[in-house]
Amino acid sequence: MERPPYSSQEFSSFIKEHSRIINKVCWIYATPKVPYDDLRQEILTNLWLGLDHFKGESRLSTWVYRVAVNSALMAIRNYKPKTETLPLEIPAIDISSETFDHMTEQLSELHELINLLLPIEKAIIMLWLDEYSYDEIAEIIGIGRNNVATRLHRIKNKLKSKSR
């Protein structure tokens, strides 16, 4: 494994700057079989190894999204169970507020619906929810703009039909 010409401090700053994207991709793609922390580590490794290959042909955040989504998809594809684990039930901290509770409930419902989607559909809807343009989504995912529009329309219909 070759080390890119970036100090760990520079890379740490880079990760802090793009942590929102990385965390969001991990949150969307994490499963009991591919846990959040493992997914995050895989993404960070691929960013570290790929940073010196960034050519500046797109925004850095677009490149980070592409690396993160591709890393998540590869981790899911290459998943091989190592050991069987049992989920821990950890009680949530009680932060009582009607607004917070309502938002948490809505986010939980959205997460459940998004988890019903195929991996590529998850990537498309996540980027759309993050207000990326069709052209930017097409560039990140590696499909045509019209294909993005068509898939997004189908994804929205799929989510609507599942939410009822």
CATH code 1.20.58 for 94-164:
no
The region, left, alpha or beta by phi > 0 then psi within -120 to 50, assigned to residue 131 is left
Lowest mean pLDDT among 6-10, 11-15, 142-146: 6-10
| pTM, two decimal places | 0.65
DSSP run (H or E) holding 10? helix 8-17
Q: CA-based diameter of the chain, in Å?
A: 52
* Contact between 65 and 140 (Cβ < 8 Å): yes
Q: Classify domain 1-86 by CATH number.
A: 1.10.1740.10
> What are the extents of the domains in the chain?
1-86, 94-164
- 99-117 residue pLDDT tens: 666 677 877 888 888 888 8
